[in-house]
Structure 1
Amino acid sequence: MAALISARRRLLLAGLGLAGAGLAASALAAKHGTALFNPCRAALPADLAGHPLIQAAWAGLDPAQVWDVHAHLVGNGDSGSGITVNPDMLSLRHPLQYAQRLFYLNAGCVHEAPAGQVDRAYVERLHNLMAGLAPGAKLLLFAFERFHDRDGRPVPARTSFHVPDAYAARIAREFPQGFEWAASIHPYRDDCVAALDAAVASGARAVKWLPAAMGIDPANPRCDAFYAALARHDLPLITHAGEEKAVHGGDTQAYGNPLRLRRPLEQGVRVVVAHCASLGEDVDTDQAKGAGKAHRVPSFTLFSRLMDDPAYAGRLYADVSALTQRNRSEAVLRSLLEREEWHHRLLNGSDYPLPGVMPLISPREFAARGMLAESTVPVLDRVRQHNPLLFDFVLKRHLHSRGRRFAPGVFETRDFFTRTAA
């Protein structure tokens, strides 16, 4: 087994090296004392499970109200799930996508799953992780729609991966004490409203979009019928905004402009901006109209403009997933910690399995910035080796900036989803 593990890790490094990412990841890991690979250990040892740092993270929260609102289902379809993976992600001719896939598999602890057992192993790992959280906590699992062309037809060649609604619904139905699910439906489909009605009837708590990868322009009038149906069901739309780097295919980055979300907001849809649009730049179309030229600003600036607009106070929300990753701005994270007037509109999510990509997050860096007590670092590092979900939660509960932390309501997210129509 040790030889098999070593061979697979050499293969992973080979893929990374071809993309130029392996050396960078290794250097980051060495510099900041972070492991390169997820060791995928099982349940926390008793001394760690009862550690005061973990107990303090749960203090003042009702676990039954704690839903992680941003988690991905991963697999390869070997269980009959209907999951598909683009061949480019399986080929060394596309080294970056190949390396990303292998890192994601390691993050979800299925990189060594036997043939035919990847889907099952991923779900079993989720069960293992949920057992390490306080009883009552839940995970919102995402389906993931295919790229569609302008005529509403799926285009497999431009789809990185696809997780069907039916599979996400089934996994949530089989473990209702730990999982909820979010549908993913392309609004250009002729049957989009019927598909949404069916998803709601099957217990969907939200709809998930990644516009750049799915070919969805949120400002397109073709979405209006879908928006009307979302508003009728009072079902939230969780949609990525800002630059997208993890999922390839559509590559229409302009669709991630936060200002394009005014259309669903103005039609009564509750919109959750994934990651608070914390990465990249977009054209400030408000200024471009007057100046006659494109003016690019940080996507977070445009998100902040919408958040500060009183017209959207009851409809615009955001999740705080991915904000602790190294490619995100410290200034953005500090702003979100300190803007307490926004906290009742922020929802915690992990972006699992990404917390299991070890080089992405460094507690030691946060301690060096004065945002985390130095004494928490070794404890968090140990927790992460066993349970990246718990790690993400405990880290965010203890992060601070100039004396401010995320309010408890950021983590008690259940009521936001259970008010939806059945």
Structure 2
Amino acid sequence: MQTQLQTRRQHLQCCGSAIAAGLFSGLLPQAAQAGALINPCRGQLPAALRKHPLLARNWQGLDPAELWDVHTHLLGTGDAGTGCRINAQMTQWWHPVESLRRQVILQGACVPANVPSVDIAYLQRLLQLCQGFPEGARWLLYAFDEAHDEQGRARPEWTTFHVPDRYAAETSRLHPARFAWVASIHPNREDALARLDAAIAGGAVALKWLPSAMNIDLRAPHLQPFYARLARARLPLIIHCGEEKAVPGAGRDELGNPLLARVPLGAGVRVIMAHCASLGEALDLDLQRPRLLPAFDLFARLMDEPAHRELLLGDVSALFQFNRRPEVWQQMLSRQDWHARLLHGSDYPLPGVGPLYRLKGLVRAGVLDAAHAPVLEALRAHTPLLFDFHLKRLVSWRGQVLRPEVFATRRHFAAGLGHNAASPSPFEESAIR
């Protein structure tokens, strides 16, 4: 009887992960392969894998000191005094969708359900994964502001999770060899400009917005002073465009239209479009009668407009997940003229979420050698961060690969390169180590 109950419980856990993963991708039926759902969370790489010639080859021609992962999420529940919060629905069994979303994300980050502190366990696991990279490699830790309405009021019911600037800044200062930090300030806040000035003074290397989740209309006139300040400081604005599944937030999908980025670009702001807007559709606002097009096609249009060639960039995080079209993979590899404007990022912890990466699909699309898949799968079981890096080094299309410039990302954040000096921390070090 006990064995039957255990089997049933394991089955329900797998099904729950499949449902939540399907919600992230919008492709629930394809997320039902239970064998690929759970992150094994294994420890150190075995020697045979660590010294594998294929993996050693992938470091050739790269300077680890220039390798900054430009898309890394810092998460927590605030149980260690970090100030982090998650939506209350994510801990309520009567909201099964949101509860499962939390479980899948934490499992992807190898944070056990019964851990004494989510904040501490999440950061410890990330630091452990960083140790698999050569010295010099760093990760940009994202703060994430609350959603606000048009009157500047915080809307916790629209906020999936919140990571304050202070936590991201102090974590990077305690671990300067591995981390830098990215601020997140909602421009509808009454004190938005003061917060931006504080973030710049505090060494933030960029600013992160997710417009659809945070309720940010890039066209709003009151954002112009904010844009002017970003342009003057040469601080990049990282925005998520296209469809968003992992962080629904305010649910304003229309605000994720890539064409709206023309407004900050026109104000002289350097814009990094997360994931190259590679998922979902958006209205082609350039037409007299707008119609839906793949959001990636609109990103490509912006990339090819001469006015934006010095300002618009894209990060390649999540680009090779199974829910992207093969045409996107092929175009990203073949558009070698874009590569100096593309930036490596992992979107951690999503590389640890089982069903989001299907190597067989990449092989079928002709962008991954079938012989490389077993090595990548073995690598992923131990360290999703290294898996993500090596996957991007191995994908190719008709002999064309992601050029070394894609992995030399440090140069894009010159305004913040002098930060991370030691400074007193308002947190107890034990709380965020």
| TM, length-normalised to structure 1 | 0.93
**Alpha-carbon distance in 2 for matches of 1:229, 1:143:** 19
C-alpha displacement of 1:255: 0.5
SS of 1:89's equivalent in the other structure is helix
Distance 1:381-1:251 versus aligned 2 partners, 3 A rule = same
CA-CA distance at 1:27 after TM superposition: 3.0
2:188 alignment counterpart: 188
Tell me if 1:133 matches 2:128.
no
Aligned to 2:72: 71
Q: 2:351 aligns with which of 352, 355, 363?
A: 355
1:87 Cα shift?
A: 1.3
Task: Work out whether 1:173 is the aligned partner of 2:169.
Answer: no
Distance 2:402 2:111 in 1: 32
Give the conservation status (yes or no) of the 8 Å contact 1:213–1:249: yes
**Aligned counterpart, 1:402:** 398
Match of 1:37 in 2: 38
> What residue in structure 1 maps to residue 376 of structure 2?
380
CA–CA distance in 2 between the matches of 1:69 and 1:265? 20
Corresponding position of 2:317: 321
Q: Does 1:199 align with 2:204?
A: no
Q: Give the Cα–Cα distance (whole angstroms) in 1 for the partners of residues 106 and 213 of structure 2.
A: 20
Q: Distance in 2 between matches of 1:189 and 1:219?
A: 16
Structure 1 range deviating more: 97-106 or 311-320: 97-106
Shift of 1:18: 7.2
Hey, what's the Cα distance between the residues in 2 that align with 1:171 and 1:324? 29
- 1:235–1:421 Cα contact (<8 Å) kept: no
Amino acid at match of 1:166: R
Identity of aligned residues (%): 50
Tell me the equivalent position of 1:266.
266
In the superposition, the TM-score normalised over structure 2's length comes to: 0.90
Say whether the 8 Å CA contact 2:20–2:101 is kept in structure 1.
no
What is the match of residue 218 of structure 2? 218
Query: Structure 1 36/346 Cα, relative in aligned 2: closer, same or farther at 3 Å?
Result: same
Partner of 2:296: 300
- Show structure 1 runs of 5+ residues with no match: none
Cα deviation digits, residues 46-72 of structure 1 (max 9, x gap): 211111121111111000000110010
Q: Secondary structure at the match of 1:336?
A: helix
Please state if 1:28 is matched with 2:27: no
Check if 1:111 corresponds to 2:101.
no
Q: Does 1:227 align with 2:227?
A: yes
- Alignment partners' CA distance in 2, 1:402 and 1:211: 36
1:247-273 Cα offsets, whole Å, 9 max, x none, are: 122111110011111110011100000
Helix, strand or coil at the partner of 1:139 = strand
Which residue matches 2:308? Answer: 312
Deviations 1:262-305 (A, max 9, x none): 11001110000001111111111110xx3xx3311111111111
TM superposition shift of 1:29: 4.9
Structure 2 CA distance for aligned equivalents of residues 210 and 5 of structure 1: 40
Aligned residue pairs: how many? 412
In the TM superposition, what is the alpha-carbon distance from 1:112 to its structure 2 partner? 3.7
The Cα shift of 1:222 comes to 1.6
- C-alpha distance after superposition, 1:317-372 (max 9, x if no partner): 00001111111111111101100000000001000000000111022322233221
Output the amino acid matched with 2:142.
Answer: F
User: Are the equivalent residues in 2 in contact too, given 1:37–1:106 (CA < 8 A)?
Assistant: yes
Correspondence for 2:86: 85
Q: Distance in 2 between matches of 1:8 and 1:166?
A: 39
Over 3 Å counting, the alpha-carbon distance change for 1:381 and 1:223 in structure 2 is same
The aligned residue for residue 124 of structure 2 is: 124
Alpha-carbon distance between aligned partners in 1 of 2:282 and 2:361, rounded to the nearest angstrom: 28
**Corresponding residue SS for 1:70:** strand
> How many Å separate the matches in 1 of 2:77 and 2:292?
38
Query: Residues 65 and 6 from structure 1, CA distance in 2 versus in 1: closer, same or farther, beyond 3 angstroms?
Result: farther
- Which one-letter code corresponds to 1:350 in the other structure? S
Cα deviation, 1:199-218, whole Å, max 9, x if unaligned, reads 11111110011000000011
Between stretches 7-16 and 388-397, larger displacement belongs to 7-16
Distance (Å, rounded) in 2 between the aligned partners of 1:375 and 1:16: 29
> Deviation per CA, 1:144-185, whole angstroms, max 9, x where unpaired?
110000011111111111000000111111111011110000
In structure 2, relative to structure 1, the CA distance for the partners of 1:119 and 1:377 (3 Å cut) is same
CA contact (8 A) 1:372 1:399 kept: yes
